[in-house]
Amino acid sequence: MLPVLPPPCIPPAADSSSTPLDSGPDRGNPLNTTAILSVSNLQVRYPVSGRRMLTAIDDLSLTLHHGETLAVVGESGCGKSTLARAICGLTPISAGEIRFGGERLHGGDRRAVRRIGKHIQYVFQDPLDALDPRMTIAEILAEPLRHHFPKLTRGERQRRIDTALDAVALSPRHLTRYPHEFSGGQAQRIGIARALICEPSILICDEPVSALDVSIQAQIINLLQDIQRERRLAMLFISHDLRVVRHIADRMMVLYLGRLMEAGPAAALFDQPRHPYTRALLAAIPKADPAEEQERLEATPPLGNDLPSPLDPPSGCVFRTRCPEAAEPCKTYRHPPMELSLSHAVNCVHATTPDG
Ligand code: ADP
Ligand code: MG
């Protein structure tokens, strides 16, 4: 059984008028707090050349609730996709546990993995890459149904296809076309329709707009947000665009070299970031107003040197080699197991123990 959690207290939406997107999420609505997915002490390691192991995710725990959007942020190489892929069963895990509605996802029971698989669907970064060029849209949409719901009648299959097309504002006349006949934005709509066709309860979106033209990114983000709300989906939303995250996320987690640095309600992290890494990421967000942008550029020291190799992470705090606040105790800091919970938690020697 999963623990029953108290209702979260999520502050009202912050002003998001500087983004080209519609109004912020309805954060006044308390989430339905039934945990649908729980990840405990997850570790994912990849074998690399020279019989070494690269730790891409280390000791990470989270719960995902019905109807919430959880954002995962951090620079490229921090382990975001690895986390998403592990949750979908696309990448084997080295330690820890992933449970969907109480059922273990990784245990070698293929039937359980298959049963759970239809509930957790993935929207890929590059839609054209993810769609088989030899299949028509009708075939692309029918395939997951054949796999997960082989007993559907023809009529029921058609109903699901129509519903999914309608959800992404494509028309039935698109069904006979091939992926290359579509623009990037339309192709991503097809990718989203394919993810919806099994009527999943979790949608995993791994940088779903970063391969798209900037002019249509907001459309796709708004579409995902509408779908998430209407269907009360739990959404794991990976992005390095913090303006989008601010707009869309209920909770968020900041990853650095596979470790959780800070996590909690999105508004709390944006308004009172407590980890120097979160502060650095926020300071890197460009301002819409030119004068404010000039001020930001003058005031903000960039993150400096590159991400250290995850094959040879710094001792102590993994962020210390780039941290503006690094001090002696950081060299021997031991990251405690970090959990995304409903309160605001931070993984830094300078921060006092997380509340709660
Ligand atoms: P992100 O999505 O945040 O950019 P990834 O999860 O893709 O990060 O990668 C995390 C780390 O794991 C990176 O150092 C990356 O090079 C490494 N990595 C990812 N996939 C593999 C793999 N299949 N084999 C070896 N290393 C990998
Ligand atoms: Mg990635």
Q: Which residues contact 59 (CB under 8 A, 6 or more apart)?
A: 41, 42, 43, 96, 259, 335, 337, 338
Mean pLDDT of 133-144: 96
Q: Are 322 and 250 in contact (CB under 8 A)?
A: no
**How many angstroms does the Cα of residue 69 sit away from the middle of ligand 1?**
23
C-alpha 272/C-alpha 243 separation (Å) is: 16
For residue 83, give the ligand nearest its CA: 1
**Is residue 5 within 6 Å of ligand 1 at its C-beta?**
no
Could you tell me whether strands 202-206 and 120-123 are parallel, antiparallel, or unpaired per DSSP bridges? parallel
Q: Are 34 and 65 in contact (CB under 8 A)?
A: yes
pLDDT of residue 297: 87
Spacing of C-alpha 5 from chain mean position: 21
Atom 10 (ligand 1) nearest CA: 79
pLDDT of residue 1: 37
Mean pLDDT of 235-258: 95
Report the C-alpha dihedral over residues 76, 80, 81, 85, rounded to 10 degrees.
170
Q: Which atom of ligand 1 is nearest to the CA of 83?
A: 6
- Look up residue 94 and give its two tokens: 């080295």
CATH of the structural domain 1-67+74-119+239-356, one choice from 3.40.50.11890, 3.90.420.10, 3.40.50.620, 3.40.50.300: 3.40.50.300
Q: Give me the chain's average pLDDT, please.
A: 87
For residue 125, give the ligand nearest its CA: 2
Give the whole-number percent of the chain exceeding pLDDT 90: 70
Among 249, 178, 187, CA closest to 216: 187
pLDDT of residue 109: 67
What single letter denotes the amino acid at residue 356?
A: G
pLDDT of residue 107: 62
pLDDT of residue 303: 82
**Is residue 125 within 6 Å of ligand 1 at its C-beta?**
no
Atom 14 (ligand 1) nearest CA: 77
Confidence of residue 21 (pLDDT cuts 50, 70, 90): very low
Reported as half-sphere exposure (CB side, CA atoms, 13 A), residue 227 has a value of: 28
Between 32 and 275, name the one with better pLDDT. 275
pLDDT of residue 299: 84
Q: Which of 43, 46, 309 to mutate to test the pocket of ligand 1 (most atoms within 8 A of CB)?
A: 46
pLDDT at 104 over 80: yes
Spacing of C-alpha 46 from chain mean position: 21
Q: In what order do the strands lie in the sheet with 345-346?
A: 120-123, 202-206, 234-238, 69-73, 251-256, 259-265, 345-346
DSSP-assigned letters across all residues of 257-298: TTEEEEEEEHHHHHHS--SHHHHHHHHTSPPSSHHHHHHHHH
> What are 282-311's pLDDT values in tens digits?
998 888 899 999 998 888 777 877 899 999
Q: Which atom of ligand 1 is nearest to the CA of 82?
A: 6
**Is residue 310 within 6 Å of ligand 1 at its C-beta?**
yes
Mean pLDDT of 167-186: 95
Q: Which of 54, 58, 204 to mutate to test the pocket of ligand 1 (most atoms within 8 A of CB)?
A: 54
pLDDT of residue 133: 95
C-alpha 250/C-alpha 245 separation (Å) is: 9
Q: Which atom of ligand 1 is nearest to the CA of 311?
A: 14
Q: Considering only 143-157, 191-205, 328-342, which range has the smallest mean pLDDT?
A: 328-342
Write down the pTM of the prediction: 0.87
CB-count burial class (<10 Å; 0-12, 13-18, 19+) for 1:
exposed
> What are 187-207's pLDDT values in tens digits?
999 999 999 999 999 999 999
**Is residue 76 within 6 Å of ligand 1 at its C-beta?**
yes
pLDDT of residue 24: 37
For residue 313, give the ligand nearest its CA: 1
Spacing of C-alpha 162 from chain mean position: 27
What single letter denotes the amino acid at residue 296?
A: R
- b vs e for 278-291, b when ≥16 Cβ sit within 10 Å of the residue's Cβ? bbbbbeebeeeeee
**Is residue 313 within 6 Å of ligand 1 at its C-beta?**
no
Confidence of residue 129 (pLDDT cuts 50, 70, 90): confident
Q: Which atom of ligand 1 is nearest to the CA of 57?
A: 10
C-alpha 244/C-alpha 22 separation (Å) is: 11
- Look up residue 101 and give its two tokens: 């509605």
> What are 24-78's pLDDT values in tens digits?
344 444 445 678 999 999 999 999 988 899 999 999 999 999 999 999 999 999 9
Mean pLDDT of 101-127: 82
Confidence of residue 108 (pLDDT cuts 50, 70, 90): low
Residue 116, number of CB atoms within 10 A of its CB: 21
**How many angstroms does the Cα of residue 278 sit away from the middle of ligand 2?**
18
Beta-bridge mates of residue 203 = 121, 235
pLDDT of residue 351: 80
C-alpha 344/C-alpha 353 separation (Å) is: 10
**Domain definitions of the chain by residue range:** 1-67+74-119+239-356
